[in-house]
Amino acid sequence: MTLTTSLRFLIAGCLFGPVISPVSGQQRTQSATQYRAEQFAGVDLGAKIVAADAAMKAAGVAEGTISVNASGSVPSPISLSQGHSLRLNAPVTLNAVITLTGNNKVSCASGVLITVHAGFGFKSTGDNPSLQDCKFAGDGSADATALSTSNSSHIKMSNVQGKNIGIVHTMGGADLQVSHVSVTGAVYGVVFQGTNNVTAEDVACDGTANCVQWFNRDSNFNAGGPNSRAMVQSMGAGHYRLNNIRCHNVTACAWGSVGYDAVVSNSVAVNCADVCFDAEGSMDINFLNDTASGGKNGDGSVFFFSNNVSFTNPHFTAAGFLIKVYNSSLNPNLSSGLHVTGGLLDCGKSICTGFGGDAWTDLTIEGVEFRNATITAATQGGGSHLRNNHLLFNVEAGAPFSAVGLPTRIFGSLTEIESNRIEGVTQPAKSSGITVESSYFNATQTFQIRNNTITGFPIDIYTANDGANVGVGTDVVLDGNRTGSNTVIHVHPGANHDTYSETSRFTLSGGKWIKADLSQPGPAKASPR
C-alpha cells in the first residue's frame, strides 16, 4: 500500500467513521460506510454527491451510503454507483435525473421533502432499486414520477408520498413491490409496462387520473390489439396482485390493458370520471371484494378482447352502468368467459343497468343481489347463464323496461335463466320480468327459462324470434316458473321453425299463458338508461 493510499484511508476514517485496518498484500474493502455529502467540494449538491460517490468507489466501498444533511439542489444529471445508497436528511430539489445503476437504496428522514421539476426524478437502469420513507412534490407534468425504471427487476417502493407527481413507472423487468404509498393530483400513481410479477398493496390516490395501471399496449382490436389468449400472452405481461387500492376523484382506479393473471382485491373507489375497475384486452382477471360508486362509464368494465374476467362479490353503486362490456366489434369472441358472482349491484333510487353492454359469449351471473338494477344486453349476447340472482325493484320506472333483457343474435347458443327471483313494485305497462329475443340468421337459439319467480311486471316472460331466415327458429323451454301477472308471450313471424314447450308453470294467482302474434305489444328492449 502506498503512502498516498494509506493517507486516504486515514482521512476517510477521520471524516466518515472507523475503518478496518488494511491487510498487507490484499485489496482494502469497506462495508456499510457512510459518507457525508456536504463535506465534499462541489458547486452544488449534485456535484457533492458525485464527489462522495467517487471517493467511495475509489476506497473500494461496495455498500456505502451517502448522507445529505443540508438542503440543496441537483441541477445536472448524476449517477450513483452500484451498491451506493442515498440518505436524505434535508430537503432536496431535483432539476435533473439521478440514475440508480444497481443495488441502490434511497431513503429519507421523517418530514424530508424532495421537490421534482419538469418530470425529473430517480431513474433505475439496474436491478434492486429501493425507494423508502420519502415525500415528493412535483409540478404536475405528465411524465413526472418519483421513480422510473428501464428493464430493472426486484424494485421496492414503500412509505412514499407524492403530490402532483407519480410514484413509480416501470418499463420491462420483473418483480415490482409497492406498499403504503399515496399520491394526489398526478397523471398516474403506479403504472407498469411490460413488467411481470407485480404486487401493490395499500395504495391511496386522490385527484389522480390513473391510480394503479398495467399498460402493456393498446387493447383496441381495431388498433392491432389482441383477439386471442395467445396474443395476450405474447403481447402483454402479467402476474399482478393488487390489494387495498383506495381511490377518490380519479379517472380510473385499478385497471389495465393487455395483461393476464391479475387479482384486484379489497379495493375501494369513489367517483371515477371514466371507470373504476376495468380489464381491457386482458385474461384471467379477478376483481375480488371490491367496492365502487360513481363510475361514470361503469364501476366495473370490460373492453375489447377479454377472456375469463370475473367480478367476485362486488359492491357497486351508481346511477348509470354498474358493470358494462364495451366492444369495438360485434364479434362475440372479443368478450367471453365473463363471470359475476355474489355481491351487490345497487342503482340507488332510480333504475339503471346492473350488467349490460355490447357483444359477449359465455356470461355467468350467479348469486348476485340486484337493487333497481337490470341485466340488459344493449346490442347482442349469446351463451348467458343467470342463476340464483335476486332482482328487487322498489321504485317505479318512468318508462317500460325489462328486468332481464337478453337479445341473442350470435351463434347457435344456449341461454339459461334459472332460479332467479324478480320482484318489486308494479312497473309500467309493457314492462317485462324476462325478455329473450333471437334474430340470428344462421343457427337456432335455445332459451331455457326454469324455476324463476316473477312479480310486479305486467308481462312476466316475453320471448321473440325476429330473425330474417324463415328456416331458422328458436327453442324455448319454460319449466316451473312462478308468475305474478300470468302473462307469458311468445312472438314470432309465423314462418320460422320455432319450438315452444312449457313443461309446468306455477302461477301465483292462477291463469294461463298467452301466445300472441307480432301484433301483440312487447316490452321495451333496453333499460331506462
The 10s digit of each residue's pLDDT in 268-298 is 999 999 999 999 999 999 999 999 999 999 9
51-59 own/partner pairs: CB under 8 Å, 24+ apart = 53/78, 53/79, 53/80, 53/81, 53/84, 55/12, 56/81, 56/84, 57/81, 57/84, 58/8, 59/8, 59/9, 59/12, 59/28, 59/30, 59/33
Side-chain-facing half-sphere of 274: CA atoms under 13 Å: 18
Asked if residue 16 belongs to a domain, the reply is no
- What is the C-alpha to C-alpha distance for residues 148 and 108, in angstroms, rounded to an integer? 18
Tens digits of per-residue pLDDT, 336-383? 899 999 999 999 999 999 999 877 888 999 999 999 999 988 666 678
Average pLDDT, the chain: 85
User: CB-based contacts of 459: which residues, under 8 Å, 6+ apart?
Assistant: 430, 431, 432, 433, 485, 487, 488, 489, 522, 523
- What's the confidence (pLDDT) of residue 413? 74
Indicate the range of 102-116, 224-238, 514-528 predicted with least confidence.
514-528
Q: How many CB atoms lie within 10 A of CB 430?
A: 17
- Report how far residue 163's alpha carbon sits from residue 224's, in angstroms, rounded to the nearest whole number: 35
Identify whether the C-beta of residue 145 lies closer than 8 Å to the C-beta of residue 119. yes
pTM recorded for the entire structure: 0.88
Reported confidence tier of residue 491, pLDDT bands at 50, 70, 90: confident
For 227, 340, 371, 424, 432, the CA distances from 484, given in Å and listed in that order, are 44, 27, 19, 11, 11
pLDDT higher for 75 or 1? 75
User: Which segment of 28-37, 71-80, 94-103, 498-507 scores lowest on mean pLDDT?
Assistant: 498-507
If you search the block for the grid coordinates 404486487, which residue do you land on?
199
Mean pLDDT of 60-66: 92
CA–CA separation, 48 and 407 (whole Å): 70
pLDDT at 38 over 60: yes
Segment 193-199 shows an average pLDDT of 98
CB distance 80 to 102 below 8 Å? no
CA angle 216, 229, 273 (to 5 degrees): 45
Q: Do residues 51 and 81 touch, judged by C-beta distance below 8 A?
A: no
Rounded CA separation 307/392 (Å): 29
CA atoms of 454 and 417, how far apart (whole Å): 12
Q: Distance from first CA to last CA of the chain, Å, rounded?
A: 83
Query: At 469, is the pLDDT very low, low, confident or very high (cuts 50, 70, 90)?
Result: low
What three-state secondary structure class fits 219? Answer: coil
Identify whether 528 is part of a domain.
Answer: no
Give me the number of domains the chain comprises. 1
Alpha-carbon distance values, 64 to 48, 84, 229, 519 (Å): 15, 5, 47, 85
Among 473, 474, 457, 476, which Cα is nearest to 523's?
457
**Which distant-in-sequence residues (6+ apart) come within 8 Å of 21 by Cβ?**
none
The DSSP annotation for 341-390 comes to ESSEEE-TTS-EEEEEES--EEEEEES-EEESEEEEESS--EEEEEES-E
Confidence of residue 513 (pLDDT cuts 50, 70, 90): very low
Q: How confident is the model at residue 116 (pLDDT cuts 50, 70, 90)?
A: very high
pLDDT range class, residue 499, cuts 50, 70, 90: low
Asked if pLDDT for residue 12 goes beyond 80, the answer is: no
Between 427 and 504, residue with greater pLDDT: 427
Q: Is residue 26 over pLDDT 60?
A: no
pLDDT at 392: 98
Q: How many Cβ atoms sit within 10 Å of the Cβ of residue 439?
A: 18
Question: What is the predicted pLDDT for the residue at 501?
Answer: 56
Distances (CA, A) of 458 to 12, 348, 373, 395, 429: 90, 23, 18, 15, 6
| pLDDT classification of 28: cutoffs 50, 70, 90 | very low
Amino acid residing at 525: K
Average pLDDT of the residues in 144-155: 96
Band the pLDDT of 489: cuts 50, 70, 90: confident
Do residues 467 and 439 lie in contact, with contact meaning Cβ atoms separated by under 8 Å? yes
Is position 59 within any domain?
yes
Amino acid 264 reads: V
Domain that holds residue 124: 43-496+503-517
CA atoms of 98 and 484, how far apart (whole Å) = 71
Position 36 in a domain:
no
Report whether pLDDT(254) > 60: yes
Determine how β-strand 268-280 pairs with β-strand 453-454.
unpaired
Cβ–Cβ under 8 Å, residues 490 and 464? yes
Instruction: Fill in the DSSP letter of residue 30.
Output: B
Question: What pLDDT, in 10s, does the model give residues 398-440?
Answer: 999 999 998 766 666 788 999 999 999 999 999 999 998 876 6
Domain contains 422: yes
Q: Which of 421, 403, 417, 526 is nearest to 458 (CA)?
A: 403
Q: What is the mean pLDDT of residues 242-263?
A: 98
φ, ψ of residue 312 to 5 degrees: the values are: -110, 120
Helix, strand, or coil (residue 185): coil
At residue 468, the pLDDT reads 65
Q: Is residue 205 part of a domain?
A: yes
**Plot region of 196 (φ>0 → left; ψ -120 to 50 → alpha; else → beta):** beta
